[in-house]
Amino acid sequence: MVSEDREDKVRRLIDHMANEGVKFLQLQFMDLPGRLKTITLPIEQSKRALETGWAFDGSSVAGYATIEESDFIALPDLTTFLIEPWSDGELRSARFICDVMTHSGEPFAGDPRMVLRRMLAKAAERGFRFNTGPEFEFFLFRRDASGNPTVQLDDHGTYFDLMPLETSDLIRKKVSTFCRQVGYPIDSLHHEVGASQHEIDLEYSDALTIADRIATLKHAIKTVAAQHGLFASFMPKPIYGMAGSGMHVHVSLADSEGRNMFYDPKAPEQMSPLMMHFMAGLVAHARESCAVMNSSVNSFKRIVPGYEAPCYIAWAHRNRSALVRVPAGRGRATRMELRNPDPAGNPYLQFATILASGLDGVERKLEPPAPVERDIFKMTEAERRNLGIESLPGNLGHAVSEMRESKFMRDVLGEHILEHLSHVQLEQYGDYVKRVTNWEYENLLPVL
């Protein structure tokens, strides 16, 4: 039964889409690894789809279901409506992010968006609003003569470089323009450290809004890149010897009035006890949550010493080799930055896990270790051991093992998601370790 309120909202949306010349609906949701899935419908199906959702077979969606339990409903969240600014004319399309429901109308336990909703509700019960601001990095590569992606660089710039009339600068600005057109405020955009590497930072907001925006931002970046003959990649470490792409996440808690609860002018460094407990939770759960923050085999080629990507579990104010960094801003800007997440992952699961880790620290009143302001990469193993600095898991297999053995992660993700996500990841890892690489041909074949 459709409520009168939803019927009224649907009616107004249909009228608005008719006035805007919309021809298609894009119903979108995310699989467990973090890939955006879309059901495209002609506009004539809009009343049915928006009122009661659209049935789909989820048996082939990674991490969702088996053939025995495959019938789902994509129920549009009407608040996520936007008209895709890169579509026009007979292809003009409206996008809705969907919650995934079972055929009986219950929330699906395998829907990553529902996991984040559940954690946000838990925070709200305690009077907290969870805000996030991601630094989203990616590479722009050239395509070959057949249009297939390569790892051929499009530019040779480095940090903050601007090359006049460079295609990459046009792409960044066009993506930013599209984001502003649909009401997604952009904080900043710039060239990153690596050649052909770029960053677009979304303005701070609540975690669900930002996770939805990341899904659209990734699609927009790939779309605009393709329009300019390039290929956008969110692979964490596409090129050996160069910096990888991360998604550093700035986080804070606010109260119901919007006041930053991490700020305390009377506390040491003006960092509230609540902030310290939250940070302690991130540190305490870093290893068991790593398979969510760094969810592919390639992720672990990024989090290695020497490239400012954290592989050691510590926190600091200025030290960018630490897992958690506290930037200089105070007052409303008081926040911490978690540096190991990457853009290949699922933002709903990443944000839910960050929040759950921090809340656990708050509830148990955990205290973080002392900050480490030295370059951890340059320390000896004995020095790190004496300071109690642990490492993140060294590969996806180890990370999944830690996640599967963690009661905490089972509670956060739920049994369905933990089992299905780890199954997908272990399949990937198993196939990966069986492969014989070019490195082995070049370095082992001639001498063995």
Q: Residue 408 is encoded by which pair of tokens?
A: 């905490």
Residue 429 is assigned to a structural domain of this protein: yes
69 has a pLDDT exceeding 80: no
Q: Residue 179 is encoded by which pair of tokens?
A: 């984001």
Answer yes or no: are the C-beta atoms of 55 and 71 closer than 8 Å. Answer: yes
Looking at the DSSP bridge assignments, the partners of residue 232 are 140
Give me the mean pLDDT over the 90-118 stretch.
93
Residue 86 is assigned to a structural domain of this protein: yes
- Domain span at 26: 4-108
Q: Residue 191 is encoded by which pair of tokens?
A: 């060239």
Confidence grade of residue 163 (pLDDT, cut at 50, 70, 90): low
Q: Residue 411 is encoded by which pair of tokens?
A: 């509670």
Based on the fold, state whether residues 71 and 217 are members of the same structural domain. no
Q: What is the pLDDT of residue 329?
A: 83
400 has a pLDDT exceeding 90: yes
Cβ count within 10 A of residue 367: 13
Q: What is the pLDDT of residue 158?
A: 84
| 306 contact partners, CB below 8 Å, separation of at least 6 | 377
Q: Residue 394 is encoded by which pair of tokens?
A: 């060294």
Based on the fold, state whether residues 191 and 279 are members of the same structural domain. yes
Question: Alpha-carbon distance 272 to 280, whole Å?
Answer: 13
pTM listed for this prediction: 0.94
Residue 63 is assigned to a structural domain of this protein: yes
Based on the fold, state whether residues 80 and 100 are members of the same structural domain. yes
Based on the fold, state whether residues 396 and 254 are members of the same structural domain. yes
| 114 contact partners, CB below 8 Å, separation of at least 6 | 99, 100, 107, 108
Based on the fold, state whether residues 81 and 122 are members of the same structural domain. no
Q: In 207-348, at which residue ranges do the beta strands (DSSP E only) sit?
A: 230-233, 247-254, 312-313, 315-316, 324-325, 336-338
Residue 241 is assigned to a structural domain of this protein: yes
Q: Domain ends where: 56, 80, 108?
A: 108
| pLDDT tens sequence across 251-307 | 999 998 999 999 999 999 999 999 999 999 999 999 999 999 999 999 999 998 877
131 has a pLDDT exceeding 90: yes
Based on the fold, state whether residues 94 and 131 are members of the same structural domain. no
248 has a pLDDT exceeding 90: yes
Answer yes or no: are the C-beta atoms of 23 and 42 closer than 8 Å. Answer: yes
Looking up residue 16, the CATH number of its domain turns out to be: 3.10.20.70
Residue 252 is assigned to a structural domain of this protein: yes
| 254 contact partners, CB below 8 Å, separation of at least 6 | 128, 129, 131, 260, 261
Residue 290 is assigned to a structural domain of this protein: yes
Based on the fold, state whether residues 167 and 313 are members of the same structural domain. yes
Q: Helix, strand, or coil here: 250?
A: strand
Q: What is the pLDDT of residue 66?
A: 59
404 has a pLDDT exceeding 60: yes
Q: Which residues of 131-170 are buried (b: 16+ CB within 10 A; e: fewer)?
A: bbbbbbbbbbbeeeeeeebeeebbbebeeebeeeebbbbe
Dihedral angle over CA of 416, 419, 423, 429, nearest 10? 130
Confidence grade of residue 165 (pLDDT, cut at 50, 70, 90): low
Tell which residue, 134, 214, 204, 206, has the closest CA to residue 179.
214
Q: What is the pLDDT of residue 134?
A: 94
Which residue intervals of 286-406 are DSSP H helices?
A: 290-293, 299-302, 347-363, 381-386, 396-404
Cβ count within 10 A of residue 32: 28
67 has a pLDDT exceeding 70: no
Q: Helix, strand, or coil here: 214?
A: helix
Based on the fold, state whether residues 69 and 141 are members of the same structural domain. no
Based on the fold, state whether residues 136 and 46 are members of the same structural domain. no
Q: Residue 321 is encoded by which pair of tokens?
A: 């080799």
State the residue for tokens 């008719």.
18
State the residue for tokens 């509830």.
363
Based on the fold, state whether residues 173 and 83 are members of the same structural domain. no
- Count how many domains the chain has: 2
Give me the mean pLDDT over the 68-78 stretch.
85
Q: Domain ends where: 84, 108, 132?
A: 108
Based on the fold, state whether residues 197 and 313 are members of the same structural domain. yes
Q: Domain ends where: 108, 142, 161?
A: 108
Looking up residue 232, the CATH number of its domain turns out to be: 3.30.590.10
Tell which residue, 337, 335, 334, 339, has the closest CA to residue 321.
339
Q: Which amino acid is at 93?
A: S
Looking at the DSSP bridge assignments, the partners of residue 107 are 101
* Phi (first) and psi of residue 398, to 5 degrees: -65, -40
For the chain, counts of helices (H) and of strands (E) = 14, 18
Q: Which amino acid is at 140?
A: L
Question: Alpha-carbon distance 118 to 255, whole Å?
Answer: 18
Residue 325 is assigned to a structural domain of this protein: yes
Based on the fold, state whether residues 258 and 147 are members of the same structural domain. yes
65 has a pLDDT exceeding 90: no
Angle of helix 347-363 relative to helix 207-227, nearest 10 degrees, comes to: 150
Residue 448 is assigned to a structural domain of this protein: no
Answer yes or no: are the C-beta atoms of 234 and 343 closer than 8 Å. Answer: yes
Q: Residue 30 is encoded by which pair of tokens?
A: 């995310």
Question: Alpha-carbon distance 130 to 230, whole Å?
Answer: 36
